[in-house]
Amino acid sequence: MKGRIIIISAPSGCGKSTIINEIMNRGNVEMHFSVSATNRAPRPGETDGINYHFMTDDEFRRAIADDEFIEYEEVYPGRFYGTLKSEVENRCRNGQTVVLDIDVKGGLRVKEMYGDKARSIYIMPPSVEELRRRLESRATDSAEAINERVNKAEYELSFAPRYDVRVVNDDLATAVNDAEREIAQFIAG
Ligand code: ADP
Ligand code: 5GP
């Protein structure tokens, strides 16, 4: 059995977490979510160790110094996110499939590192206006954070052609089916 990496990227609010959770709940494909580390504050409803390993600035710096990351990025000014070796490497060696929710720069870097062992999937919003509506109705970010995320979306969308596949998240069930099919084919191949 070969270990595989599924890379999922998209601007914030496009539905990455929703789609990953739905595929994992369905249980048709066996994959493990890689819980990233971040120094951002937990949102209401987020749990340490489940959504992220929430770290202080110092803890994050120490993890960098101790070489604990496969990659990390400053995705927003002062806010760092990183993929921990401890979430990925053993599972891959054991032939398991690991799914990463990761920003565009990190996603391309991991694809470069893992080559054919990784499949990169870009979740596209129907439009940037719809993206803003979803972030507003998710109601987990301040108006300032929503503006920051929407403003960054156009830049992030310019990375979509460099991913292996693109899935449009307009109708959620269709997007989940498309992403699930893509992952199942990759694992089987
Ligand atoms: P991300 O993980 O990419 O930041 P989320 O999965 O948190 O995005 O989705 C952002 C918001 O949009 C959530 O409130 C989610 O319920 C909603 N959402 C996701 N997909 C759809 C869809 N196809 N149609 C409408 N709302 C959606
Ligand atoms: P959020 O704050 O909305 O949870 O995530 C913000 C961004 O950080 C998203 O684009 C998400 O994919 C990205 N992200 C989450 N974990 C990682 C990681 O481990 N590495 C990198 N490079 N980006 C990450």
Task: Indicate if ligand 2 lies below 6 Å from the C-beta of 36.
Answer: yes
Best of 7, 20, 36 for a ligand 2 pocket test (most atoms within 8 Å of beta carbon): 36
Residue 171 alpha carbon, nearest atom of ligand 1: 23
* Burial (Cβ within 10 Å: 0-12, 13-18, ≥19) of residue 139: exposed
The pair of three-digit structure tokens given for residue 49, joined into one six-digit string:
């160790």
List per-block mean pLDDT (blocks of 10 residues) for the chain, which spans 189 residues. 91 94 96 98 95 98 98 96 97 96 97 97 96 94 93 94 98 98 95
- pLDDT value, residue 1: 53
Residue 51 alpha carbon, nearest atom of ligand 2: 4
Q: What pTM does this model have? A: 0.95
Q: What spacing in Å lies between the alpha carbon of 10 and ligand 2's midpoint?
A: 9
Q: Whose CA is nearest to atom 18 of ligand 2?
A: 82
Q: Are 65 and 124 in contact (CB under 8 A)?
A: no
Between CA 4 and CA 186 the distance in angstroms is 9
* Burial (Cβ within 10 Å: 0-12, 13-18, ≥19) of residue 11: buried
Between CA 101 and CA 163 the distance in angstroms is 14
Please spell the DSSP secondary structure of 127-142, one letter per residue: -HHHHHHHHHHHT-S-
Beta bridge mates, 32: 98
- pLDDT value, residue 174: 98
Q: Whose CA is nearest to atom 14 of ligand 1?
A: 138
Among 148, 136, 125, which residue's Cα sits nearest to residue 40?
148
- pLDDT value, residue 131: 94
The pair of three-digit structure tokens given for residue 157, joined into one six-digit string:
């969308």
Longest dimension (CA), the chain: 46
Task: Indicate if ligand 1 lies below 6 Å from the C-beta of 16.
Answer: yes
Task: Indicate if ligand 2 lies below 6 Å from the C-beta of 132.
Answer: no
- pLDDT value, residue 27: 96
Three-state DSSP class for 99? strand
- pLDDT value, residue 177: 98
Q: What spacing in Å lies between the alpha carbon of 97 and ligand 1's midpoint?
A: 24
Task: Indicate if ligand 2 lies below 6 Å from the C-beta of 34.
Answer: no
Task: Indicate if ligand 1 lies below 6 Å from the C-beta of 121.
Answer: no
